[in-house]
Amino acid sequence: MNRIVLNIGLLLFFLAIVFFSQRQLPFYDVLLKSFAIFVFSTGMLAVVGIVFIRSINKKALSKTNNITDNISGK
């Protein structure tokens, strides 16, 4: 999961470099803005990934408890 998040962040970083360089911005500003987009997007994707995995684990745990209760006859 971490590699996917990092690869998407890097893709957005390089797309931002292309986008900002097309606007004739100075090289320093292009790198600074692209890095900010990389950090923000990677952080947000990591948070979304953590929430997604926790929700899957929570659902699986409740399903396991439900099956266990059905088997035991409670």
pLDDT tens figures, 12-43: 999 999 999 999 999 999 999 999 999 999 99
| Amino acid identity for residue 8 in this structure | I
Sign of the Cα torsion 62, 66, 68, 72 reads: positive
Distance CA 16, CA 22 (A): 10
State CA 43 to chain mean position distance. Answer: 7
The answer to whether residue 74 scores a pLDDT higher than 70 is: no
Residue 18, judged by CB atoms within 10 A of its CB (0-12, 13-18, 19+), counts as exposed
What's the structural domain count of the chain? 1
Distance CA 13, CA 18 (A): 9
The answer to whether residue 63 scores a pLDDT higher than 90 is: no
Give me the domain span that covers residue 36. Answer: 2-72
